[in-house]
Amino acid sequence: MPPRGKPTNRLPADSTSLSVATAMMEKLLNLPVVASEHGHDVNTLVELVHWLMGILLVGWTVFFIYTLVRFRARPGLKADYHGVRGHASTWMEVGVASFEAILLLGFAIPLWAKTVDDFPPEADSTVVRVVAEQFGWTFIYPGPDGKFGRQDLSLVTAENPFGFDPEDPSTKDNVQSMNEMYVPLKKPTIANCSSKDVIHSFKVLPLRVTQDCIPGLNIPVHFVPTATGKYQIICAQLCGNGHAAMANGFVVVETEENFKAWMDSKAGGGGTATSFE
Ligand code: CUA
């Protein structure tokens, strides 16, 4: 096992043929480091799909070349219009379909159920609003009271871009951060993704998280960070001229203490002003 708390792209040592196969493919694909709990499951699925596709690519290419040579035009030979009489190709098709069914039913659907549908309780999680815009990310935390406070479209001004009610006590302890999303290590994070303008996408490769940020919608994603570090956010939707600038966003995974210290340093902004530090 690699040292705890360090990002890794290696699976834990295991000698089953499945893990040997996935470890081989992992080396070949050179996937980015994994810094979330479900990350290795995503890797396993990606690796198994690559195995199937690799076997199909090699198998069909060999078969194609064989047929080109075996059935080439030769003087005096007429085509057999009846075609193949054996059942080998049928069995191969059944084999491929079975492998695909195993991938879907045995890996993809359980992975989706676990990492996408099965949300941790909000009380045990760091809840953050991720608001994308052209061209940056704002992260809003509800502060110690756990409540974001009232928002109203009529309150939106240049100084109060999210229309928070400054009179609402729940708003006052909100914490906002531009382009830096701090989250504590080994605790679930629930990120509620939305957008102020066009469709963006919150993609953080080491966390194996990708979620579109769509204006008018609030779409939550969750993950458990397993390694401290600073991980780049990539906007995964072409959203305008400054699309590439959205790579200035980072998820910073810190220990509980450092996360608290950061939160304290950001507190007191009243929740309405965005810090551009
Ligand atoms: Cu935002 Cu691309």
Q: How do residues 200-229 score in pLDDT, each as one tens digit?
A: 999 999 999 999 999 989 999 999 999 999
The response to whether residue 239 sits with its C-beta less than 6 Å from ligand 1 reads yes
CA 64 to chain CA centroid, Å, is 37
Is any ligand 1 atom within 6 A of the Cβ of residue 181?
no
pLDDT at 15: 61
Asked if 139 and 236 count as a contact pair (C-beta separation under 8 A), the reply is: no
Q: Is any ligand 1 atom within 6 A of the Cβ of residue 203? A: no
Distance in Å, CA 182 to ligand 1 centroid: 20
Q: Within 10 Å of residue 200's Cβ, how many Cβ atoms?
A: 32
Low-confidence ranges of the chain (pLDDT < 70): 1-15, 268-277
Quote the pLDDT of residue 271: 45
Q: What pLDDT shows up at residue 7?
A: 59
Q: State whether the beta carbon of 200 lies less than 6 angstroms from ligand 1.
A: yes
CA distance 187 to 211: 20
Q: Tell me, using a 6 A CB cutoff, whether residue 237 lines ligand 1.
A: yes
Q: What is the pLDDT of residues 77-87, one digit of tens each?
A: 888 888 778 88
- Mapping DSSP to helix (H, G, I), strand (E, B) and coil, where does residue 170 land? helix
pLDDT of residue 6: 57
Q: What is the pLDDT of residues 90-124, one digit of tens each?
A: 898 899 899 889 889 988 898 888 888 888 998 89
For residue 244, the ligand 1 atom closest to its alpha carbon is 2
**Ligand 1 centre from 134 Cα, in Å?**
7
Q: Specify the residue with its C-alpha closest to ligand 1, atom 1.
A: 200
> What does the block give as tokens for 240?
């305008």
C-beta 246 within 6 A of ligand 1: yes
pLDDT at 96: 87
User: Can you tell me which atom of ligand 1 is nearest the CA of 213?
Assistant: 1
Burial of residue 117 (number of CB atoms within 10 Å: 0-12, 13-18, 19+) = exposed
Q: What is the pLDDT of residue 174?
A: 86
- The helix-helix angle for 88-102 and 39-70 (nearest 10°) equals 170
Please tell me if the CB atom of residue 233 comes closer than 6 angstroms to any atom of ligand 1: no
